[in-house]
Amino acid sequence: MNAPFDTPPLDVLSPMPMEFEALIPQPMLLPGENLEHYQLMRQAIFAEIAPRSVIEWLLAIDVVELSWDIQRYRLLRHKVLETFRQQAIERALSRIDLVGIPSSFQEEASYHTRLNALSWRIAPLAASEIEVRLASYGFDHHAINAEVYAQARELFLMFEGLLVTAQNRRTILLREIHNQHSGKSTLPHVRFRDRRP
Longest dimension (CA), the chain: 88
**Residue 24, pLDDT score:** 79
The parts of the chain modelled with pLDDT lower than 50 are: 1-12, 195-197
What is the reported pLDDT for 149? Answer: 93
0.95 surpassed by pTM: no
pLDDT digits (tens, 9 = 90+) for 158-174: 999 999 999 999 999 99
What does the alpha-carbon distance between residue 177 and residue 183 come to, in Å, rounded to a whole number?
Answer: 10
Q: Do the Cβ atoms of 30 and 67 come closer than 8 Å?
A: no
pLDDT of residue 84: 95
Residue/partner pairs of 165-174 with CB below 8 Å, 24 or more apart: 166/66, 166/69, 166/70, 166/73, 167/66, 167/70, 169/62, 169/66, 170/63, 170/66, 170/67, 170/70, 173/59, 173/62, 173/63, 173/66, 174/49, 174/63
Task: Classify residue 110 as exposed, middle or buried by CB count within 10 Å of its CB (0-12, 13-18, 19+).
Answer: middle
The alpha carbon dihedral of 104, 113, 147, 79 has a sign of positive
